[in-house]
Amino acid sequence: MPNLKLCNINKIYPNGFQAVYNFNMEIKEGEFIVLVGPSGCGKSTTLRMIAGLEEISKGEFYVGEKLANQLSPKQRGVSMVFQSYALYPHLSVYDNLAFSLQLEGLDAETIDEKVRRVAEILGLSDYLFRKPKALSGGQRQRVAVGRAIIRKVDIFLMDEPLSNLDAKQRVSMRAEIIDLHRKVGATTIYVTHDQTEAMTMADRIVIMKDGHVQQIGTPRELYFEPANTFVAGFIGEPPMNLVKAEVKDGKVIIPGSDASYDLKDVHDNELENQEIFFGVRPEHLKVQRKNEGMIEVHTTVELTEMLGDNSNMYLKWGSNNIISKVDPHEVSKVGEEVTLYVQKKNIFLFDKDGNSLMK
Ligand code: ATP
């Protein structure tokens, strides 16, 4: 299986709109890559350029050592699952799966063997002779995935394949796709706007905004070492609290609150007189002090949300609004004053343009 290389890929649509800027990445064979970002960030455009469905305006795309810009999807060895999984309604599951193999002219026995193997992998063996309308959304989605994997391909591309499913079905299909990737091993590029899908499925995530790659990394790297405030705010639920801060006499001061912290040991810049952003994740704001050296955040509770396994407290920190994610037993009442504690290692600092200042 080849690796893939995207070198300075740009997309400018015929109307002059630039949807992707200088996309650079090397994808190892068998990797599961997730492209994630808000609507319109250019992730589908990037996927379609990889698929060969959209022309690359500038830059080179290599499949192995071969320049692939001008190759058809088939020559690239790609198979794609779309958001709208158009199954043939008048054909049974069996025939939907068999269709592309029949077009390739394979003999009936080989087709039968492949259809049954894919049905087995995807748990569709009991539904082979049903029409799509007699299937649940999740089962239909599995047929669509089955149609894509039944042909032997090196590269598997998926554009929001779970968006038509309900929350429960999405969780189980997520697990099935990961399992399938383990079994089939094809290099997979998966597009979603859902950070949970990205975090749970990817070997590496590419996070995009306005056509620009913001960061490429493992889920762990994106969570613990976000390159900028956009990534910090996109990964994590609820998102990271980001408040404006100033540095005076070596201390990080949070305007609109009584807070002033010596955080020289966590960043690697001379910040005197700079405006910065102070970031802390809701799950790192703890009600109980665990050890010395933690910094204190004095807040007032404005609203609480009970979610079952945890609760969100919406807090006023001076004039800033922040969220803390706590154990439901630790929730304070609306109007109460609460002191929360954060370990210094869980503090993030960003410059005024949003770029990370962390060591
Ligand atoms: P979504 O999650 O909404 O599908 P996306 O991140 O996949 O968004 P793209 O579909 O890649 O985004 O679109 C990126 C940008 O390019 C958008 O601003 C879109 O309006 C624009 N765009 C897409 N197709 C065309 C086109 N054919 N001509 C001009 N602009 C286009």
Domains of the chain: 4-233 (3.40.50.300), 238-351 (2.40.50.140)
Q: What is the pLDDT of residues 61-109, one digit of tens each?
A: 999 999 999 999 888 988 887 766 678 999 999 999 999 899 889 999 9
38 lines ligand 1 (CB under 6 A): no
Helix 108-121 / helix 167-184 crossing angle, nearest 10 deg = 130
pLDDT(129) > 70: yes
257 CA distance to ligand 1 centroid (A)? 41
How confident is the model at residue 62, as a pLDDT?
96
* C-alpha of residue 44 to centroid of ligand 1, in Å: 7
The pTM for the full model equals 0.90
Q: Which atom of ligand 1 is nearest to the CA of 193?
A: 2
CA distance 122 to 140: 11
Task: Check pocket membership of 17 for ligand 1, CB cut-off 6 A.
Answer: yes
pLDDT of 121 above 90: no
Least-confidence region, from 43-57, 214-228, 245-259: 245-259
| pLDDT tens digits along 185-237 | 889 999 999 999 999 999 999 999 999 999 999 999 999 999 999 999 999 99
Ligand 1 and 239: CB distance under 6 A: no
Q: At what angle do helices 167-184 and 137-149 cross, to 10 degrees?
A: 20
CA 43 / ligand 1 centre spacing (Å): 8
Which residue, 314, 321, 311, is CA-closest to 335?
314
Q: Does the CB atom of residue 40 touch ligand 1 within 6 A?
A: yes
Q: What is the pLDDT of residue 238?
A: 94
**What distance in Å separates the CA atoms of residue 158 and residue 138, rounded to the nearest whole number?**
16
Side-by-side strand order, sheet with 66-67: 18-27, 4-12, 58-63, 66-67
Residue 266, exposed/middle/buried by CB under 10 A (0-12, 13-18, 19+)?
middle
Nearest to 219 by CA among 240, 239, 238, 205: 205
Average pLDDT over residues 120-142: 89
> Ligand 1 mean position to 164 CA, how many Å?
19
162/54 Cα distance (integer angstroms): 23
Q: Does residue 117 contact residue 98 with C-beta atoms inside 8 Å?
A: no
Reported as type and span, the H/E element at residue 199 is helix 195-201
User: What is the per-residue pLDDT for 84?
Assistant: 65
User: Which H or E element spans position 320?
Assistant: strand 320-326
Query: Contact, 322 vs 249, CB < 8 A?
Result: no
Which residue has its alpha carbon closest to ligand 1 atom 3? 39
42 lines ligand 1 (CB under 6 A): yes
- Tell me, using a 6 A CB cutoff, whether residue 13 lines ligand 1: yes
- Alpha helices of 90-150 — where are they, by DSSP H? 93-103, 108-121, 137-149
7 CA → ligand 1 middle, Å:
21
